[in-house]
Amino acid sequence: MLEVNVALKVGSFQLEVAFQNQKTFTALFGQSGSGKSLTLNLISGLIRPNEGFIRLDGVTFVDINEGIFEPMHRRRVGVVFQDSNLFPHMSVRQNLLFGRWFAPKGDRRIDFDQVIEVLGIGKLLKRPPSRLSGGERQRVAIGRALLSCPRLLLFDEPMAALDMERKLEILPLIERIRDEFRVPMVYVSHAIEEVVRLADLIVVIDAGKVKAIGGPGEVFSAASAQSEEARFDRSSVLTVRVAGENARYGLTELKHSSGVIWLGGAAGPAGSEARVIIKATDVVLANEPAHRTSVRSVLQGKVLSIHDSGPFAMVEIALAGDNHLFAAATRQAVDELGLQKGCDVFALIKTAALDEAKIAPAHVS
Ligand SMILES: Nc1ncnc2c1ncn2[C@@H]1O[C@H](COP(=O)(O)OP(=O)(O)OP(=O)(O)O)[C@@H](O)[C@H]1O
């Protein structure tokens, strides 16, 4: 179990973060400048808190009251940064072996060949980092961190510099590592697609404080999880069942208790549970089901709240099955449709905005 309960003041910024996770994968999610990296650096031992403690499976990394501060190398944590930080003068193999060197001889439980196979980097072993693509460099960086057989693996925005295609290649690799090597992980990101797909527990940090905490479904259905300013980034996460494919058009039908959503691309085996991420700006509101439009994805719900913000409004809709959906609209449209708390409403979702990056299997860990 990872237990974090720390306070830190740097300049005028005050960080106070507390959470615990018995499962493997914790995501620290929040806007730029919210305090995610500081939290990660406190866990790695790069910086020392003013107050509090951090423990992993009963091992104390730091406890200010007890006067304990283990330096980074004694915590045995592996870190993967946005920039892979590989040693430029070493080959891929040497970089990986460097990681191995940090693993204590009696605890080399993670196998070199297995890591290479999972990450698909067998063909790259002789190359210097300068001859790798960004995605390949990140795979090697993950391999190097993993081969040190860490007690805890930390990721600081590991995919922030990669394009969507590379992200979609690397996400399943991180999933496999999570499931095959069972190393606890803490993953910093401001990308909702990544944290929903990977995490058991999401800790939402805002202005140095924990704003929400829970599994992907719970956290992103709560209005409080995302900041008010993030109107154009606001997303909802709905739990759906994969109903079947329309092979002719390359679409997948997703069933929600409030209606049907069509996704461009594949979404896992029929019958399986999945989570779909819907941006508030991809939802159109209507008083009645859409006729003669291109929209095929329609959910029915009740207006739960309306928050005005300048010319716009954020409409929160309660759907059957305890999911909430956010829709961004103009205040004018909200007035003209006569929307108010308790009204029935139809949410029309653009399938063209829902591709494979927006779907994640609802994993059980
Ligand atoms: N050494 C420092 N001295 C003063 N302020 C600092 C220091 N390090 C970080 N901060 C401030 O603390 C806040 C949180 O920083 P942090 O790097 O944790 O944010 P973040 O959530 O990781 O953001 P990003 O996603 O942009 O990396 C920021 O306002 C930052 O300017």
What does pLDDT average to over the chain? 89
Which of 225, 240, 259 is the C-terminal boundary of a domain? 225
What is the ipTM metric for this complex?
Answer: 0.92
Q: What does the block give as tokens for 318?
A: 């309660």
Choose one of 29, 32, 37 to mutate for the ligand 1 pocket test, by most ligand atoms within 8 angstroms of C-beta: 37
**pLDDT for 37-71, tens place per residue?**
999 999 999 999 999 999 999 999 999 999 999 99
Whether residues 105 and 198 share a domain: the answer is yes
Q: Which of 99-103, 107-111, 118-122, 219-223 has the lowest average pLDDT?
A: 219-223
Rg (CA), the chain: 22
What CATH number did the domain enclosing 149 receive? 3.40.50.300
Q: Give the integer Cα–Cα distance in Å for 119 and 139.
A: 6
Q: Among 172, 201, 225, identify where a domain stops.
A: 225
Q: What is the pLDDT of residues 196-237, one digit of tens each?
A: 889 989 999 999 999 989 988 778 766 555 655 555 568 888
Question: Following DSSP, what letter does each residue of 31-67 receive, concatenated?
Answer: -TTSSHHHHHHHHHTSS--SEEEEEETTEEEEETTTT
Residue 365 pLDDT grade (very low, low, confident, very high; cuts 50, 70, 90)? very low
Q: Are 316 and 309 in contact (CB under 8 A)?
A: no
Q: Are residues 160 and 98 in the same domain?
A: yes
Instruction: Please report the beta strands in 144-214, taking only residues with DSSP state E, as ranges in sequence order.
Output: 152-156, 185-189, 201-206, 209-214
Condensed to tens digits (0 to 9), the pLDDT of residues 264-277 reads 988 888 999 999 99
Same domain for 213 and 243: no
**172 and 59 part of one domain:** yes
Residues 215 and 248 in one domain: no
Residue 331's pLDDT band, with cuts at 50, 70 and 90, is very high
- Which of residues 192, 225, 258 is at a domain's end? 225
Closest C-alpha to ligand 1, atom 24: 32
- For 194, the token pair is 């990544």
| Predicted local confidence at residue 201, as pLDDT | 93
Give every strand in the sheet of 13-21, ordered side by side: 68-69, 59-63, 51-56, 2-10, 13-21, 209-214, 201-206, 25-29, 185-189, 152-156, 77-80
Same domain, 127 and 177: yes
Backbone phi, then psi, for 56, in 5-degree steps? Answer: -130, 120
Number of domains in the chain: 2
pLDDT of res. 267: 85
Dihedral, CA of residue 5, residue 362, residue 177 and residue 144, to nearest 10:
-60
CA of 37 to the centre of ligand 1 (A): 7
**Local structure of 71: helix, strand or coil:** coil
Is the CB of residue 148 less than 8 Å from the CB of residue 99?
Answer: yes
Among protein residues, the one with the nearest Cα to ligand 1's atom 1 is 10
Query: What is the reported pLDDT for 363?
Result: 65
Lining residues, ligand 1, CB within 6 Å: 10-11, 13, 30, 32-38, 190
The closest residue, in CA terms, to atom 11 on ligand 1 is 13
CB 263 within 8 A of CB 354: yes
Return phi, psi of residue 16, to 5°. -140, 105
Ligand 1 centre to CA of 212 (Å) is 19
Burial-class residue 182 by CB neighbours within 10 Å (0-12, 13-18, 19+): exposed
Residues 63 and 210 in one domain: yes
Lowest mean per-residue pLDDT among 93-102, 180-189, 294-303 = 93-102
Which residues form the domain of 315?
A: 231-361
Q: Is residue 221 domain-shared with residue 238, that is, in the same domain?
A: no
Q: How far is the CA of 313 from the centre of ligand 1 (A)?
A: 30
Same domain as 100, residue 61: yes
CATH of the domain at 266: 2.40.50.100
For the CA of 39, the nearest atom of ligand 1: 18
Q: Find the 19 Cα to ligand 1 centroid distance in Å.
A: 19
Q: Do 183 and 150 meet the contact criterion of CB atoms below 8 Å apart?
A: yes
Q: Annotate 79-96 with b (16+ C-beta within 10 A) or e (fewer).
A: bbbbebebeeeebbbebb
Give the pLDDT score at 224: 54
Residue recorded with tokens 């999933």 = 175
Q: How many CA atoms lie within 13 A of 65 on its CB side?
A: 6
| 274 shares its domain with 176 | no
How far is the centre of ligand 1, averaged over its atoms, from the C-alpha of 61 (Å)? 22
169 shares its domain with 281: no
- Residue 290 reports pLDDT greater than 80: no
Is residue 207 domain-shared with residue 120, that is, in the same domain? Answer: yes
**CA-angle at 149, arms to 162 and 50, nearest 5°:** 80
Distant-in-sequence contacts of 95-99, Cβ < 8 A, 24+ apart = 95/129, 95/140, 95/144, 96/125, 96/140, 96/143, 96/144, 96/147, 97/147, 98/144, 99/143, 99/144, 99/145, 99/146, 99/147, 99/148
The answer, yes or no, to whether residue 116 has pLDDT greater than 70, is yes
Angle at 101 between CA 100 and CA 107, to 5 degrees: 70
How many whole angstroms separate alpha carbon 121 and alpha carbon 139? Answer: 7
Q: Which atom of ligand 1 is nearest to the CA of 188?
A: 22
